[in-house]
Structure 1
Amino acid sequence: MPDLFPRAGATKLGYRRDDVDAYFAQARHVYEQPGAADDLASFDVRRASFGLARGGYSTASVDSALDRLEVAFSARVKERFIKEHGQDAWMAQLAERAQSLYPRLRRPAGERFDRPSGLHGGYAQADVDQLLDRLTAFFDQGKPLTADELRSATFKRRSSWAAYEERVVDAYLARAVDILLGAA
């Protein structure tokens, strides 16, 4: 069977080919089944992870394909919902989900998420707050922001006194990505 993605190189780490091949075979199967798109929701695509191995698939290529797969599944869920309930119901549901993000957006900068426990570092508060300010501007003023921008956001690492807990920020941004994909 030919490789699905370019390889990282014989001496470089990449995603384990068997893991990636199996995941994408499953995703194709689910996507091609009528009515089965909900079995592999876009959030599940975002949570996909693969082991690393020398000579594995290029991580950038696989990650890019995962982003496209997430968009495809999200579009299918949206299409199915609109067909069954209508565009107005979709927009109402999307607005309700967006409202669930507002409490953190309304908190003062530096207080939007918990700090990491103990001596562990985390994401720089200033970097995360800047991205959340952009998300607020998207919701309140219609300023441009894409799901890709949220997905590809990177944050400097800081010690616990100037950082946010990474897992909580990641989960929050995953919810925001779902909303932005639904609005596209």
Structure 2
Amino acid sequence: MVMFPAAGRMGTGYDRAQVEEFFARARAAYEATQREDAGGDRGDSPTLDENDVRAVAFDLVRDGYEATAVDAALDRLEAALVHRRREDFIAAHGQQAWMDRIADRATTLYPRLVRPRGQRFSPPQGRRGYDAAAVDELLDRLVAYFDAGAELSAAELRTATFPEVGRRRAYAEGTVDAYLDRAVEVLLAVE
């Protein structure tokens, strides 16, 4: 069974076996939670959460699965897992407790947001990094989202790309990526 479109014999895509193994594990974990919700036993079924989805990586190979199609499916899976966790938490603790929890997580993002533009992250260790102006522009949108309810989605944060520039005008990529992962988690929790 073909799960996703192929990148083609001359193109590169995600390793089919790795993708299929991950989605089989995801399906087994989902079905186990369905049995558990119905009062059954989880057994030895694997567990899976949104962090597992966010952390998964596949090798690029010739004639693999088209990366954009797999990435879109991973995004949907991550959102579904966050939604399920939110429902479970609200059922156990109430809506206000969930909102308080998300507000606490959102406040951990603020220290960087209030720093001056160009100083929100450290410069890269190497010669190049993300364009600080482009990153700051996205973070300004995040501030507007938190402070004024401006439009911004987790998908926009997740798919944001930044030009690479020389060290003097750049932020370290790993730090920016980790920060945006936390911001995505907060936005997903309220979408």
The TM tier, using the shorter chain, reads over 0.9
The SS at the match of 1:130 is helix
Output aligned runs, 1:82-161, within 5 Å: 82-119=90-127, 121-161=128-168
Output aligned runs, 1:40-79, within 5 Å: 40-79=48-87
Normalising by structure 2, report the TM-score: 0.92
Q: Which of 165, 168, 184 lines up with 1:177 in the alignment?
A: 184
1:9 CA drift (Å): 0.3
Runs of 4+ in 1 over 4 A off after TM superposition: none
Give the corresponding residue for 1:17.
16
Give the corresponding residue for 2:39.
none
Structure 1: give runs of 5+ residues left out of the alignment: none
Between the aligned partners of 2:59 and 2:122, the Cα distance in structure 1 is 30
AA matched with 1:77: R
Q: Deviations over 1:59-103 (max 9, x none)?
A: 111011000011011101111100000000000000000000000
Structure 2: give runs of 5+ residues left out of the alignment: 37-41
Report % sequence identity: 51
Structure 1 vs Structure 2 CA RMSD: 1.5
Normalising by structure 1, report the TM-score: 0.95
AA matched with 1:135: L
AA matched with 2:100: A
**Contact 1:13 1:55 (C-alpha < 8 Å) held by counterparts:** yes
